[in-house]
Amino acid sequence: MSIGIRVALGINQADPVFRRRNQLRLVAFLSPLAFILLWWWVSRMEIFPTQLLVSPDAVLLAFLELLDSGELWEHLSVSLSRLGTGFLIGASSGLLFGILMALSRTIEDLFAPLFQALRQVPSIALIPIFILLFGIEEVFKVAIVVKAAFFTVALASYESTKGIPRHYFEVAQAYQLPARKLYTSVVIPAILLPVLTGFRIAFARSWTILVAAELLAADSGLGHMMQMGREMFRIDVVMVGVVLTGLIGFGIDRIFKWGEARLIPWRKA
């Protein structure tokens, strides 16, 4: 993996001592624990007004309260279904488009310039235009996730299919592989790992962009919950949202990582 991809994913490959040695693993929990204790102590001392800094147990209470009222589930399920729908549409069409663009010269000639030009526009800058085009309803949020996922996955699959060594195809030709067999036993295995990495990056981007879109215009979802907390000066609700967005992003990234290790046993990510 190049340093750029690792930076984009936030993967630390260099193994520090404490992660290499098993008995030192627990050390990794020390500083987060100390951080939370410090947070608790500072809020207890009331150095900052309570409207600005709430204690960790108040955040936990707010979390339980939101959970009890069922409000949290509603926001969470709405956000996740938007993310799921958008990501599924965007990533699958991006994958197909990327592979086709790399393999067919006609498609590449027709679409690649447009693709490369549109790719330069960051998704977040498209939010205002998407609001005008699609309104502020569901379509807008799903569309922005589709955009974010499509371009990232399409680029990853395009670049990796282009990067398949020419002699792979020559071998396939020598064995007179039928077209379908060519895809299933040459193209797909060759691009699996970089494409999965593309999926991970695309997912992280989709999640960020969805939270931003929900902060701006939504009547439900985690971003909307935080926005309401901000407007009502309920910093505990905002903190619940911050922690949850972090946990969800982390959790789904772990799923992708697990999938990488499962699907590609011959190469450890």
Partner 1 sequence: MGGSQADTLAQGMKMTTQSLSRYRFLQSGRGWLFPIALLLIWECMSRQSAEHAYAFASIPQIYHGLVEIISTGELQQGIVASLQRAFLGLLLGGFAGFIVGIIMTQWRVADVIIGPLYHMLRQVPLMGLVPLFSLWLGNGDPSKLVVVCLSAFYPLVLATYESLYQVEVKYKEVGDVYKLSRWQAFFKILLPAALPNIFTGVSFALAFAWLATIGSEILFSAGAGLGNIMMNAQAASRMDILIVLTVLIGFLGYGMNFIIQRTGRYFFRWRNLR
Q: Which of residues 194-223 bind partner 1 (CB under 8 A)?
A: 204, 207-209, 211-212, 215-216, 223
- Between helix 30-45 and helix 56-68 the angle, nearest 10°, is 90
- Establish if 109 lies at the interface with partner 1 (CB under 8 A): yes
Contact call for residue 38 and partner 1 (CB under 8 A): no
Shortest spacing between CB 144 and partner 1, in angstroms: 12
Q: Of 76, 127, 148, 218, which lies in the binding site for partner 1, with binding defined by CB under 8 A?
A: 127
By CB under 8 A, name the one of 6, 80, 177, 269 that touches partner 1. 6
Is residue 83 within 8 A of residue 206, CB to CB? The reply is yes
Size of the site for partner 1 (CB under 8 A): 73
* 14 interacts with partner 1 by CB under 8 A: yes
CA distances from 100 to 105, 116, 154, 155, 202 (A): 9, 15, 10, 12, 19
Min dist. Cβ of residue 178 to partner 1 (A): 26
Asked whether position 12 contacts partner 1 by CB under 8 A, the answer is yes
Taking CA atoms, 2 is separated from 11, 123, 194, in Å, by: 11, 24, 11
Instruction: Say whether residue 85 binds partner 1 (CB under 8 A).
Output: no
Q: Which stretch binds partner 1 (CB under 8 A): 22-30, 72-80, 180-188, 195-203?
A: 22-30
Task: Using the rule CB under 8 A, give the single segment among 39-47, 128-136, 145-153, 167-175 that binds partner 1.
Answer: 128-136
Q: Could you say which of 95, 145, 146, 239 contacts partner 1 (CB under 8 A)? A: 239
What DSSP state is assigned to residue 264? -
CB of 177 or CB of 217, closer to partner 1: 217
Residues 137-176 that bind partner 1 (CB under 8 A): 159, 162-163
Residue type, 104: S
For residue 106, how far is the Cα from the chain centroid?
A: 32
Query: In terms of DSSP H, where are the helices of 104-137?
Result: 105-119, 123-134
Among 58, 103, 131, 192, binds partner 1 (CB under 8 A): 131
User: Distance (Å, rounded) from C-alpha 211 to C-alpha 79?
Assistant: 8
Cα distance between residue 104 and residue 187, in whole Å: 13
Does residue 84 belong to the site contacting partner 1 (CB under 8 A)?
Answer: no
Residues in the chain: 269
